[in-house]
């Protein structure tokens, strides 16, 4: 049995797991994310060593938010960690003595969905993770797309609105400012301020001091018209972006993950409507499916582990060919 470890470094927690070649988790671990980079590295090393105790591990995949180089080795830039041109793979391999592969977290989640989840029956897939921000992953012809320098598929920074809301990337009008959980909160507050269908949102905001994802999500599930209107606006922007992405990528399936995707069909319906309204040459070529991700919180560790396994297999093959 081929086993690999997947590590998913998040803003608040580090998750890890031993994963087999079928995407099944055999052992899992989780610790809080340390605030400084030295302690974070120590925590990752300790987790790898702990998970390796009872299993013969082939490789380790580490997923983190940020720009990763094409060699899956150096973190060019991480938004939530003080990493700038960080040789993280080299540091970890020196300490754990095992092949390590570094991957963008959305890429890892997308690969997991492609191999074992909602995208497993297609060859071309586009994943959008709708959380605090918007992450993306592209699989084309059964291969993960990384771009020439390794930092491709940053779909959340597709420019959607000229001179729109400022984005943390330094530009304005990015999809992340219109299709994320943060954007949903802004839309919900605007509807609350307007009164009318926003009365329940305004009342909840008054009771709790502010709106958050749990409050708005609960109102959405309860069928509150104001919360549903905010979700539909969010879905409209995402659908427009998907129409543009489809013109370039032509995926067979769009997969949506992240916390906002818990809304299920309530989110997918406005996405489909906006997509069809803005799709170039509508009616003259096949249309993709729109589905919710299946692996949820396990996608990062499962994808990171499988990508490490793929890396080892490809390099063993290239070595034997030489």
- If asked whether residues 106 and 200 sit together in one domain, one would say no
Give the confidence band of 37 by pLDDT, cuts at 50, 70, 90. Answer: very high
Q: Mean pLDDT throughout 36-41? A: 94
Q: How far apart are CA 159 and CA 33, in angstroms?
A: 31
* Nearest partner of 238 among 190, 286, 178, judged by Cα: 178
Label each residue of the chain as H, E or C.
CCEEEEEEECCCEEEEEEEECCCCEEEEEEEECCCCHHHHHHHHHHHHHHHHCCCCCCEEEEEECCEECCCCCCEEECCCCCCEEECHHHHHHHHHCCCEEEEEHHHHHHHHHHHHCCCCCCCCEEEEEECCCEEEEEEECCEECCCCCCCCCCHHHCECCCCCCECCCCCECEHHHCCCHHHHHHHHHHHHHHCHHHHHHHHHHHHHCCCCHHHHHHHHHCCCHHHHHHHHHHHHHHHHHHHHHHHHHCCCEEEEECHHHHHCHHHHHHHHHHHHHHCCCCCCCCCCEEEECCCHHHHHHHHHHHHHHHHHHHHHHHHHHC
Q: Using one digit for the tens of pLDDT, what is the confidence trace for 8-35?
A: 998 889 999 999 999 999 999 999 999 8
Residues 249 and 146 in one domain: yes
174-184 residue pLDDT tens:
999 999 999 99
Please report the pLDDT score of residue 207 as a whole number.
96
Domain with 97, as residue range(s), is 3-110+297-321
Q: How confident is the model at residue 315 (pLDDT cuts 50, 70, 90)?
A: confident
Report yes or no on 30 lying in a domain: yes
Q: Which of 315, 298, 318, 320 is nearest to 108 (CA)?
A: 298
Based on the fold, state whether residues 156 and 204 are members of the same structural domain.
yes
Q: Is residue 37 part of a domain?
A: yes
Residue 256 counted as domain residue: yes
| Per-residue pLDDT tens digits for 108-141 | 999 999 999 999 999 999 999 998 889 999 999 9
Q: Is residue 252 located within the same domain as residue 128?
A: yes
Q: In terms of domains, do 46 and 143 share one?
A: no
User: 48-57 pLDDT, tens per residue?
Assistant: 999 999 899 9
**pLDDT tens-digit map of 66-104:** 899 989 999 998 887 889 999 999 999 999 999 999 999
One domain for residues 145 and 166: yes
- Cβ atoms 188, 226 nearer than 8 A: yes
pLDDT for the residue 47 = 97
What's the structural domain count of the chain? 2
**301 and 245 both lie in a single domain:** no
Q: What is the CATH number of the domain that holds 30?
A: 3.30.420.40
Task: Tell whether 195 and 261 lie within a shared domain.
Answer: yes
Q: How far apart are CA 261 and CA 271, in angstroms?
A: 11
* Residue 322 confidence (pLDDT) above 70: no
- Whether residue 139 is contained in a domain is answered as yes
- Is 204 within the bounds of a domain? yes
Both 236 and 309 in one domain: the answer is no
* 219 shares its domain with 286: yes
Q: For 186-225, what is each residue's pLDDT tens digit?
A: 999 999 999 999 999 999 999 999 999 999 999 999 999 9
Residue 194 lies in a domain: yes
User: Is this model's pTM higher than 0.85 or not?
Assistant: yes
3-class SS letters over 53-71: CCCCCCEEEEEECCEECCC
Does residue 185 sit in the same domain as residue 301?
A: no
Residue 194 and residue 45 share a domain: no
pLDDT for the residue 318: 62
**What is the reported pLDDT for 319?**
60
CA–CA separation, 181 and 187 (whole Å): 10
Q: What is the pLDDT of residues 260-309, one digit of tens each?
A: 999 999 999 999 999 999 988 888 888 999 999 999 889 999 999 999 99
φ, ψ of residue 243 in degrees (nearest 5): -65, -40
Cα 183 from Cα 289, distance rounded (Å)? 24
Domain assignment present for 167: yes
Q: In the prediction, which pLDDT does 321 show?
A: 46
Give the mean pLDDT of 242-262. Answer: 95
């Amino acid at each position: 049995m081929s086993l690999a470890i997947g590590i998913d470094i998040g803003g608040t927690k580090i998750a890890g797991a031993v994963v087999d070649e079928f995407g099944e988790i055999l052992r899992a671990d989780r610790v809080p994310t340390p605030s400084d980079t030295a302690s974070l590295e120590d925590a990752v090393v300790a987790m790898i060593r702990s998970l390796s105790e009872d299993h013969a591990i082939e490789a380790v995949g580490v997923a983190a938010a940020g720009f990763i180089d094409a060699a899956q080795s150096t973190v060019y830039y991480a938004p939530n960690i003080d990493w700038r041109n960080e040789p993280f793979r080299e540091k970890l391999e020196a300490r754990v003595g095992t092949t390590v592969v570094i991957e963008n977290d959305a890429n890892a989640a997308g690969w997991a969905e492609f191999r074992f989840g909602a995208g497993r029956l297609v060859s071309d897939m586009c994943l959008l993770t709708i959380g605090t921000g918007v992450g993306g992953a592209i699989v084309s012809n059964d291969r993960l797309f990384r771009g020439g320098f390794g930092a491709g598929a940053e779909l959340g920074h597709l420019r959607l609105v000229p001179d729109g809301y400022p984005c943390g990337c330094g530009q304005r009008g990015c999809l992340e400012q219109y299709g994320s959980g943060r954007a949903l909160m802004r839309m919900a507050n605007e509807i609350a301020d307007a009164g009318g269908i926003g009365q329940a949102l305004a009342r909840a905001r008054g009771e709790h001091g502010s709106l958050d994802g749990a409050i708005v999500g609960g109102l959405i599930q309860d069928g509150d018209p104001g919360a549903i209107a905010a979700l539909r606006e969010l879905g409209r922007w995402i659908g427009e972006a998907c129409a543009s992405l489809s013109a370039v990528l032509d995926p067979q399936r769009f997969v949506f993950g992240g916390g906002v995707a818990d809304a299920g069909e309530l989110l997918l319906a406005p996405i489909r409507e906006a997509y069809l309204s803005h799709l170039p040459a509508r009616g003259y070529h096949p249309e993709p499916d729109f589905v919710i991700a299946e692996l949820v919180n396990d996608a990062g560790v499962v994808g990171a582990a499988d990508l490490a396994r793929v890396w080892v297999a490809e390099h063993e093959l290239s070595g034997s060919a030489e």
